[in-house]
Amino acid sequence: MLRGAEIVLQCLRAEGVELMFGYPGGAIMPLYDALEGSGIRHVLTRHEQGAVFAAEGYARVTGKVGVALGTSGPGATNLVTGIADAKMDSVPLVCITGQVRSALIGTDAFQETDVFGVTLSLTKWSRLVRTLDEIPEVIAEGFHWARSGRPGPVVIDIPTDILKAKKEFSGPVKFTPHARPADAKAEGGFSDTIVALLRQASKPVALVGAGAKLSGAISDLRTLLDDLNIPTFATVHGLGAVPPRAPYYLGMVGMHGTRAANTALHETDLLLVFGARLDDRVTGDPTRFAPHAKIVHFEIDPAQLDRVRPCDLAVIGNLADTVPAFQAELRRHSLPDFAEWRRVACGPERAELDPRGFAQPTIRFLDELFSRLPENNVILADVGQHQMWAAQRYRSASPRGFITSGGLGAMGFALPAAVGVQLARPNTCVLCVSGDGGFQMNIQELATVHRLGLPIKMVIVDNKYLGMVRQWQQLFYERNYAETDLSDNPDFVEIAKAYKIHSFRMNEDAMREFPVSGETGGQIDRFLRSPEPELLVFDCAPEANVFPMVPSGAALSEMLLEEEPTQ
């Protein structure tokens, strides 16, 4: 005879769960009572949002399902931002929430919230458990949907009386989905069409998104891109999928993408998309996105097709299957020589960044920091200007080496996510880059970092503003800096010390020389190689801006390269 809580934990172990994150409360308490001896490590964060972001970090770096726990009411609603983030960024996640007693559901009981209803539009699958007998099947099915196809979040809400109730338990079960016919477009017939389109094209390009990583198709895709040898760029979640030193690689594309990538995408006559949603941050004005191009869209989720701009050919299926099929067909044919197009698209005249940008001390600082990272590293970026600077300067060939909140753009993501990454990769140098605004949104997780002794390297780019919003106010709202002034920031160095974390400050003067002086370089090296958690606050100029920048509603070809507003 086992309690429902014990059955839940045994089913989680059967799904391979070794680590989960959470925060206890009344309705979920029976699950916490059963933790000892379960074989699952639980990490107490200092806020439920910290727990769900930490679970996301674990999932993003491992590819496994992340698990977060919360109690009823505010415990569950505090998970919602992370659930939405996982939905937007295709992160496999299972959130288990406690619910009030079954008899009280619908009575506005203390800490009752309709978690199923609140999260319905944000999940791939969700369930309110009604009986003790349902638990094994619900957990097995929930994990299946979290990790299958396009990964995403699942919510399982369990009333506290069901967690307390007992029954004979014969063991976990396996979920077998109903078989459905494979999509004909994924089975074949597409490769020869793409070859024909390539033969007709004069300016083909490739765009790589997160799907390349999630599918496990990195090796096959890199081989295919070498064969195609056409200008290639990545979304923010595609960074690392293409080796940055590949001669055809142009960097990140989109609102803050490189000049070369955005220009090539605007000029192309054939766009091959590998696992990207083509959201507005990539396309700019959708009516003027790749205006001369035919689009071939490789995508596992049919719901993502034709949402922003219709494609001419949809290749539906896992990239691990469709990319090798396409490559096999490609190698049976000869392609035109795109050398002249590569020379133009990848040439030095299309500078990666506005030359004035290289003078920015913050960019120099990030370049210096990234160049000194140990080879085995993961960079997490929060949301804001520092996020785009970090994405622009990222130069690793590690597919899971750059992690950020992309689709949702959730400030406060990076610090708790770094906790999950460091626990998953204990021998990896984990670098968390935050802004002074976002860092304060989950600053309480410094307590988690200290308690666990995690050697996370934390950087705060401190410009005393909500920098990205301020940049828009400067360029498009006549410098009306309404409610973006953070000049009364606390002393982050002293706060870190209060959490017993070593910290120090560095200002822009240290970056006047490049490469930096021996003393400054030594400071950065000691920071990165310390076996303890470290915090570095970098003082950034208040009105430093991120360029290139594509204004909202503009085409990629209309990117700003300097501080002049569009009319």
- Domain residue extents for the chain: 2-167, 184-345, 355-554
Residue 564 pLDDT level (bands cut at 50, 70, 90):
low
Q: Tokens standing for 427?
A: 């021998």
- Mean pLDDT computed over 41-47: 98
Main-chain phi, psi angles of 126, to 5 degrees:
-150, 160
For the chain, percent of residues with pLDDT exceeding 90: 87
pLDDT for position 360: 84
Q: Lowest-pLDDT range, 128-142, 269-283, 295-309, 356-370?
A: 356-370
- Mean pLDDT computed over 313-330: 93
Inform me whether the pLDDT recorded for 566 exceeds 70.
no
Q: pLDDT tens digits for 436-486?
A: 999 999 999 999 999 999 999 999 999 999 999 999 999 999 999 999 999
Type and span of the H or E element at 418: helix 414-424
User: How far apart are the two ends of the chain, measured CA to CA in Å?
Assistant: 72
Backbone CA torsion sign across 259, 262, 267, 268: positive
Q: How many CA atoms lie within 13 A of 225 on its CB side?
A: 28
Q: pLDDT tens digits for 159-173?
A: 999 999 999 999 999
| Residues 447-451: contacts with CB under 8 Å, at least 24 apart | 447/46, 447/499, 448/43, 448/44, 448/45, 448/46, 448/50, 448/54, 448/416, 448/419, 449/415, 449/419, 449/499, 449/501, 449/533, 450/499, 450/500, 450/501, 450/533, 451/44
Fold assignment, 184-345: Rossmann fold (3.40.50)
pLDDT for position 517: 80
Inform me whether the pLDDT recorded for 563 exceeds 80.
no
- Among 2.40.50.100, 3.40.50.300, 3.40.50.970, 2.120.10.30, name the CATH number for the domain at 355-554: 3.40.50.970
Do the two domains 2-167 and 355-554 of this chain adopt the same fold? Answer: yes
3-state SS of 512-554 is CCCCCCHHHHHHHHHHHHCCCCEEEEEECCCCCCCCCECCCCC
Residue 402 pLDDT level (bands cut at 50, 70, 90):
very high
Mapping DSSP to helix (H, G, I), strand (E, B) and coil, where does residue 335 land? coil
Q: pLDDT tens digits for 474-506?
A: 999 999 999 999 999 999 999 999 999 999 999
- Mean pLDDT computed over 338-362: 74
Neighbours of 339 (CB within 10 A): 9
Give the chain's mean pLDDT: 93
Neighbours of 292 (CB within 10 A): 11
d(CA 547, CA 553): 17
d(CA 332, CA 386): 45
Residue 350 pLDDT level (bands cut at 50, 70, 90):
low
Inform me whether the pLDDT recorded for 303 exceeds 70.
yes
> Domain spanning 2-167: which CATH class is it, in words?
alpha beta
pLDDT for position 353: 45
Classify the phi-psi angles of 383: left when phi > 0, otherwise alpha if psi is within -120 to 50, otherwise beta.
beta
- Mean pLDDT computed over 507-528: 87
8 Å CB contact between 411 and 441: yes
Q: Lowest-pLDDT range, 124-128, 352-356, 403-407?
A: 352-356
Inform me whether the pLDDT recorded for 352 exceeds 90.
no
Inform me whether the pLDDT recorded for 43 exceeds 70.
yes
Residue 358 pLDDT level (bands cut at 50, 70, 90):
low
Q: pLDDT tens digits for 70-127?
A: 999 999 999 999 999 999 999 999 999 999 999 999 999 999 999 999 999 999 999 9
- Mean pLDDT computed over 286-295: 94
Secondary structure E strands in 402-500: 402-404, 429-435, 457-462
pLDDT for position 354: 44
Of residues 158 and 356, more confidence is placed in: 158
Residue 187 pLDDT level (bands cut at 50, 70, 90):
very low
Inform me whether the pLDDT recorded for 262 exceeds 80.
yes
496 Cα distance to chain centroid = 26
pLDDT for position 180: 58
Inform me whether the pLDDT recorded for 65 exceeds 50.
yes
Helical H runs in 15-79? 29-33, 48-62, 74-77
Mapping DSSP to helix (H, G, I), strand (E, B) and coil, where does residue 44 land? strand
Provide CB contacts within 8 A for 106, sequence distance 6+: none
**Pairing assessment for the beta strands 294-299 and 270-274 based on DSSP bridges:** parallel
Q: Is 448 exposed, middle or buried (0-12, 13-18, 19+ CB in 10 A)?
A: buried
Q: pLDDT tens digits for 227-259?
A: 999 999 999 999 999 999 999 999 999 999 999
8 Å CB contact between 104 and 111: no
Backbone CA torsion sign across 87, 56, 438, 556: negative
Q: Tokens standing for 548?
A: 């290139």
Q: How many CA atoms lie within 13 A of 273 on its CB side?
A: 31
Inform me whether the pLDDT recorded for 348 exceeds 90.
no
Q: Which residue has the tokens 């099947």?
A: 137
Neighbours of 168 (CB within 10 A): 6
Q: pLDDT tens digits for 1-34?
A: 999 999 999 999 999 999 999 999 999 999 999 9
Q: Lowest-pLDDT range, 53-67, 91-105, 186-200, 425-439?
A: 186-200
Give ∠ CA 46-90-157 in degrees, rounded to 5.
55
